[in-house]
Amino acid sequence: MKIAISILIFLVGSPFIGGLLEGLERKISARMQGRVGPPLLQPFYDVRKLLNKQTIVVNKAQTLLMMTFFLLQIFTVCLFASGSDLMMCFFLQSTGATFLIFAGSVTYSPSSTLGANRELLQMMAYEPAVLLACVGFYLANKTFDVSEIIGMPNSSILYLPGFFIAYVFILTIKMRKSPFDLSTSHHAHQEVVKGVTTELGAKNLAIYHITEWYEITFLLAVLALFIVNSNPISYVVAVAVVFLVWFLEIVIDNTSARVKWYVLLRTTWIVTGLAAGINLLILMIARR
């Protein structure tokens, strides 16, 4: 019963939290740029408008691919909420991301195809760090299960500071923030077309936004997993850390220009490899 309630809360709350965070991000970004910005609930208005529009698709397969992308992200959230295997959660999320790439490729649009290729490059950049983060959680807690990790007497970050740094670094990529927003951007001034989402019409674009809200909530929940332990106070600290990192991502997004793909790969592999690699080496030595 407890697991069912947890899953229901995540299913209902994730898009609501994700949409509110996007709306708040727009307001903060606007203030940083000397603008008033849209209403806080504007992301919800945008999705509602898209859902009410006529569905026009370049390729009928695109709708099926986007629905698969959406459903796999929901399964990811449900698996995490049930306290199951963290490695499996990221596996499902990565599988869903491949369907987004397929959805961008089947349109035969140059802009959409280029965005899909860049999405694939981003996956090549952050996936090693995701795998290392899962390995780190296992070495620190002797389990991949989320329910067991949050029940530990100490926070995982005490043993995984390097993995935490690596994960925060790749959040910039996974949340599609500058300077690593190669596949698509949330800013209108960043590009004339919208990369991998260029040919997503009406309802498919709405599905993309809702899925992104689920994804962002899941990513921030994993970030909180570094902090949360059996002490209830840790939940308050985790929320504070999550909001601090989230605000840091907004600052980076508004103060950085997009880099080229090879800079993305090189920088990500160097930073995450050094931070997580050194931490992994220390953990392996400590276990002997």
pLDDT digits (tens, 9 = 90+) for 81-101: 999 999 999 999 999 999 999
Mean pLDDT (whole number) for 265-271:
93
Is residue 33 helix, strand or coil? coil
pLDDT higher at 4 or 89:
89
Strand partners, 145: 85
What does pTM read for this prediction? 0.93
Q: Which residues contact 25 (CB under 8 A, 6 or more apart)?
A: 250
Amino acid at 226: F
Residue 21 pLDDT level (bands cut at 50, 70, 90):
very high
Amino acid at 75: F
Pairwise CA distance, residues 213 & 64, whole Å = 19
Q: Which residues contact 244 (CB under 8 A, 6 or more apart)?
A: none
Q: What is the mean pLDDT of the chain?
A: 89
Pairwise CA distance, residues 224 & 34, whole Å = 32
Amino acid at 9: I
Residue 190 pLDDT level (bands cut at 50, 70, 90):
low
Question: Dihedral of CA 21/22/23/26: which sign?
Answer: positive
pLDDT at site 203: 87
What's the pLDDT tens digit per position in 176-186? 888 888 887 76
Residue of 67, 69, 78, 70 whose CA lies nearest to 11: 78
Percentage of the residues of the chain whose pLDDT score is greater than 90? 59
Residue of 212, 198, 225, 178 whose CA lies nearest to 83: 225
What's the pLDDT tens digit per position in 214-264? 999 999 999 999 999 999 999 999 999 999 999 999 999 988 888 888 899
Residue of 271, 256, 74, 264 whose CA lies nearest to 183: 264
pLDDT higher at 167 or 288:
167
Domain residue spans in the chain?
Answer: 2-287
Is residue 145 helix, strand or coil? strand
pLDDT at site 63: 87
Region of poorest pLDDT, from 44-48, 192-196, 252-256:
192-196
